[in-house]
Amino acid sequence: MSKKDKLIYFNGRGRAEVIRLVYAAAGVEYEDKRVQGEEWSKLKDRLRKQKQYDWKDSNLALFGSDTEKQVKKESAQSEPAWKGAGQQVGLQIWRIVTYKEEDGDQLLYDVHFWIGKYSTQDEYGTAAYKTVELDTLLDDVPVQHREVMNHESDLFQSYFKTVTYLRGGADTGFRHVTPEEYVPRLFHLRGEKFKVKVRQIKKDQSKLDDTDVYILDAGETIYQWNGPGCNIGEKTEAVKYIGKLKDERPGKAIKTVVIDQDASGQEKDEFMRLLDAGDDDDDDDESQEQEAADKEKELFRLSDAGGKMEFSSQKKGTVSMGDFDSKDVFIFDTKKALFVWIGDGASPAERKNAMTYAHQYLQKTDHPLLPVSCLKEKRSQECKAFVSAMAA
């Protein structure tokens, strides 16, 4: 007797729904194991602390089969979150940018999924899957984008005046996020005039960089610490962010203290004391810059024209549209972003494996966290980042 697959998940609405649908559509028998509330206390101690996101953990090989595509379409039509998706121009809550082609009536879309530093493999897989599901619902019109924390594309950042990274996570059956209740938090502000990022970091004096601005939120008192080398954009954003924090506490008298690095006195002493007060177990590392050592652009072809799937290098250096072929899939690495280009005449197998091969390629490079955009040939000239990469 062949061994059955065993599906284990928390017994809550929506858990493992997509996996169960795939099993059902494929006619595969499996053992359904749902974790009940009374079992949770025995299991929770086995869970490990959240680890930082590892691009190499994720598995995209599942996507692309005809059965899976049909399941996605049916699932998307019954997904409440997609109700009204893509019906009007604007920015929708799950970050779908919709707009009309010039002199045309068809709505066009950019769909982004974002991966946090501590996201789990399951969360990554679900985000990627839901992105493909929405793409299917919108008849393959969208350009899909994968964004990774600290490595977001210019397009993604352009949607927001400020990008803020907070600790926490989803309040699920497996991980509970405790309310902050004014536990002191340290925020790091870094960037230029129109692109300042706000990131919650470990409370530690050693984290202070004299070229940036920091905010220490202690509840009833909010401190702004200015390094001597900070710029006007960072200072301006700090004032705005403090205002936002104060607005979240209506009816409370919130004191604001601005401290320059070379200042002295009781307020600075209190600021430093709060930085070193209590345990803060975040192994925070802001140095995740992963620039490619080799800056030359590279173009790769994915083709099964020879009877088997082959991934081969096509060109290095300057790349133009004449280097692409409608019959195949191409992966274009600019070393600042990665584009998966799907030709109109690409085979079903090439389309299915496009993102998987892009994923496997990035795993082996020194820049695995690049923004990834998957676009069809007919829309490639509408993607400004792709066109700019050609011209650069």
- The most distant pair of C-alpha atoms in the chain lies apart, rounded to whole Å, by 77
For the chain, domains (ranges, CATH) are 1-47 (3.40.30.10), 52-150 (3.40.20.10), 173-275 (3.40.20.10), 290-391 (3.40.20.10)
* Sequence-ordered strand ranges (E) for 135-220: 143-148, 162-165, 185-192, 195-201, 213-217
Please, which residues bridge with residue 279 across strands? none
Task: Say if CB 223 and CB 257 are below 8 A apart.
Answer: yes
How far is Cα 228 from Cα 205, in angstroms, rounded to an integer?
16
The residue among 214, 99, 200 whose CA lies nearest residue 159 is 99
How far is Cα 170 from Cα 177, in angstroms, rounded to an integer?
7
Share of the chain above pLDDT 70, in %: 73
Give the CA-trace dihedral at 240, 151, 111, 107, to 10 degrees. Answer: 70
Give the model's pLDDT for residue 46. 52
Query: Do the strands 372-376 and 195-201 form a parallel or antiparallel pair, or are they unpaired?
Result: unpaired
Sheet holding 195-201, edge to edge: 162-165, 195-201, 185-192, 213-217, 221-226, 255-260
| Across 55-59, 63-67, 215-219, 285-289, least confident range | 55-59
Residue 392 pLDDT class (50, 70, 90 cuts): confident
Give the model's pLDDT for residue 3. 63
Q: Read off the DSSP letter of residue 307.
A: S
Answer left, alpha or beta for residue 37, where phi above 0 means left and psi between -120 and 50 means alpha.
alpha
Task: Say if CB 62 and CB 68 are below 8 A apart.
Answer: yes
**Whether the predicted pLDDT of 1 surpasses 50:** no
Give the model's pLDDT for residue 173. 37
**Whether the predicted pLDDT of 53 surpasses 60:** no
**DSSP readout, 340-357?**
EEE-TT--HHHHHHHHHH
**Segment 57-64 mean pLDDT:** 46
How far is Cα 34 from Cα 263, in angstroms, rounded to an integer?
59
**Sign of the dihedral defined by the CA atoms of residues 95, 78, 72, 377, in that order:** negative
- Cβ neighbours, 10 Å, residue 230: 21
**Whether the predicted pLDDT of 273 surpasses 80:** yes
pLDDT tens, 125-178? 778 778 888 888 888 888 899 898 888 898 998 888 777 887 765 444 334 444
Residue 83 pLDDT class (50, 70, 90 cuts): confident
Give the model's pLDDT for residue 279. 53
Q: Give 300 or 37, the one with higher predicted confidence.
A: 300
State the helix-helix crossing angle for 66-77 and 121-137, rounded to 10 degrees: 80
Residue 333 pLDDT class (50, 70, 90 cuts): very high
Task: Say if CB 274 and CB 216 are below 8 A apart.
Answer: yes
How far is Cα 51 from Cα 282, in angstroms, rounded to an integer?
10
Residue 91 pLDDT class (50, 70, 90 cuts): low
